[in-house]
């Protein structure tokens, strides 16, 4: 069974304090790994797709990386507006569905 585990469940940072969120997965033939951001009371918003080990993608203060067993979302010098829940999801080869992790709730204090 395909599984996605995100850690930590919650993370508090001071503004400017860099850190990383982890997404570990077990899947039969990874087709893609996805990162989404979700603000309170809103639907998830797409951030990145990673397809193969070694791939990296960046957007502003966020950088996503992928290995054969996990993905990291690195947040460099975060700002309070980066506060949100970050969701990781995987799509297995031969499957049309995404399997989501439970998310990491990030709070950045000014």
Q: Which residue ranges make up the site for other proteins (CB under 8 A)?
A: 31-32, 34, 36, 41-46, 49, 87, 89, 91, 96-98, 100-103
Closest distance between other proteins and the C-beta of residue 106, in Å?
16
User: Which is closer to other proteins, CB of 4 or CB of 75?
Assistant: 4
Helix, strand and coil content of the chain, in percent to the nearest 5, comes to 5, 60, 35
Least distance CB 26 / other proteins (angstroms): 16
The span from the CA of 79 to the CA of 35, in Å, is 19
Which residue bears the tokens 């009371």?
41
Q: Give the residue with the Cβ less far from other proteins, 19 or 47.
A: 47
What minimum distance in Å lies between the beta carbon of 109 and other proteins?
23
78 vs 101, beta carbon nearer other proteins: 101
CB-based burial, 67-105: b 16+ in 10 Å, e otherwise: eeebbbbebeebeeebbbbbbbbbbbeeeeebbebebbb
Q: Using the minimum distance from each CB to other proteins, give the nearer residue, 13 or 88.
A: 88
């Amino acid at each position: 069974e395909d599984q996605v585990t995100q850690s930590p469940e919650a993370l508090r940072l001071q503004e400017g304090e860099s850190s990383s969120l982890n997404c570990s997965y077990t899947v039969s033939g990874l087709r893609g790994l996805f990162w989404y951001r979700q603000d309170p009371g809103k639907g998830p918003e797409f951030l990145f797709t990673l397809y193969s080990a070694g791939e990296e993608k960046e957007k502003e203060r966020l950088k996503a990386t992928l290995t054969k067993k996990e993905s990291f979302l690195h947040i460099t010098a975060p700002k309070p507006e980066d506060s949100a829940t970050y969701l990781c999801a995987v799509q297995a080869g031969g499957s049309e569905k995404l399997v989501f992790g439970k998310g990491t709730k990030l709070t950045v204090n000014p």
